[in-house]
Structure 1
């Protein structure tokens, strides 16, 4: 407890001030803290805990496969420094592509994208929108069409592989990029697009909507309907390109 004593300038005798403080503190009651009592009954807890089921048993062959998979990253990486953006298209390390994007960025008004730093470099503002899982949409989502399922089988892609719908100028239908982005954010905010996150690519004049392939047809039809899109929307998968159109 901290005590602050205010006194007049001519009352500077420390012994007098100490007595005043002691007398003032005597009026406060001293309460002894009660001993801790657990909220749960101690007699109902019997240690040690034992699981209801036995642990899984794996064969020697499966154990060797696990060891092999654990050893592969060490030989591939070879270094403790790992760049998680190396395989992402939007973080392409190609020099010519980087110079082209920077040149296009230079043409855009800095007031709409970011601020100019002291050394003259542009600080770009990236716009992202992320969805929240929603369970009540499962009943509305139909199974994948035969056409898309055959494409997945040929490419050996899993249904939970990530893909992206590309909303480009040919689909705007007399709308601006920002108008579509505002509507899309409202859809994601209200959890109308399962497993989705989106980013606006102003330098490409495009919007990328990422989703699991399992929900891509539902997401694509919902985007076309709610955003009033026209033309053809393409579904892009990394390392495979455009695999499906809607």
Structure 2
């Protein structure tokens, strides 16, 4: 504790000033702080916390099986690595046309050069999300008995998320990009309730996510508006394909 003592100019005797300070401090009580006690039992022979299960034990045979994989160069290297090392589209020495070709895989380079001379290539976004709409309540019918029985057997709620998979067997003489453009227009016009979509160019697929409550309406609407053929599968994470249309 710091004590500041103010005195008059003629009171310069240090002994008197010290006595005045000692008398002033006598009014303040002196309290001895209590000794620290930890809230957990402090035992030197055991830890306060113990895991319920013992750590896994690796046998000598399993260690010998893992040892050859640890000797591969690059696996045991530095922890700071370049995650884009094997991705050609992130290399600075590639041209713009080559980067796009590495990403899409099936784009003609000559067409890219023509488009780049006319102002550059504009790539479409790879996802799309719908906004809530209340105008489709009268058009959405209850789920079919077949789908209801599937939900009861799998114990899935009607608001569980699922995805329709639009794959090449359903394109019906269309390209992946053509279907994606039409799908974006449908989502912008709020034709698909509770939907968001992604395009998987590496797998030549489009995934349309929706609640199971609206999945039959969304599937029929996609087939009609996008002129799709073949069979569309409804996929649920953890259960696989649960329904086909």
- After TM superposition, the score normalised by the length of structure 2 is 0.52
Count residues with an aligned counterpart.
Answer: 136
| Change over 3 Å in CA distance of 1:138–1:166 after alignment to 2 | same
- 1:230 is aligned to 2:219: no
Q: CA offset at residue 199 of structure 1?
A: 0.2
- Equivalent runs, 1:130-169 vs 2, <5 Å: 130-169=129-168
Structure 1 residues 244 and 109: alpha-carbon distance in aligned structure 2, compared to 1, 3 A threshold = farther
**Residue correspondence of structure 1 range 1-246 to structure 2 within 5 A:** 110-111=99-100, 113=103, 127-246=126-245
Partner of 1:72: none
SS at match of 1:142: coil
1:110 Cα deviation from its structure 2 partner:
2.4
Q: Deviations over 1:162-209 (max 9, x none)?
A: 000000000000000000000000000000000000000000000000
Larger helix fraction of residues:
1
Alpha-carbon shift at residue 111 of structure 1 (Å): 1.7
Contact 2:127 2:197 in 1 (8 A): yes
CA deviation map 1:201-223 (0-9, x unaligned): 00000000000000000000000
Does the 8 A contact of 1:105 with 1:203 survive in 2?
no
The separation in 2 between residues aligned to 1:172 and 1:139, in whole angstroms, is 29
2:98 and 2:139 map into 1 onto residues whose CA distance is: 42
Alpha-carbon spacing, 1:154–1:110, altered in 2? closer, same or farther (3 Å)? same
Q: Describe the shift of the 1:141–1:125 C-alpha distance in structure 2 as closer, same or farther (beyond 3 A).
A: closer
Contact 2:89–2:100 at 8 Å: present in 1 too? no
**Counterparts in 2 of 1:126 and 1:232: CA distance versus 1, 3 Å:** same
> Structure 2: 5+ residue runs without aligned partners?
1-51, 53-85, 91-96, 105-122
Question: TM-score, normalized by length of structure 1?
Answer: 0.51
Larger-gyration structure (1/2): 2
Q: Secondary structure at the match of 1:244?
A: strand
* DSSP 3-state at the match of 1:175: coil
CA distance in 2, matches of 1:163, 1:203: 21
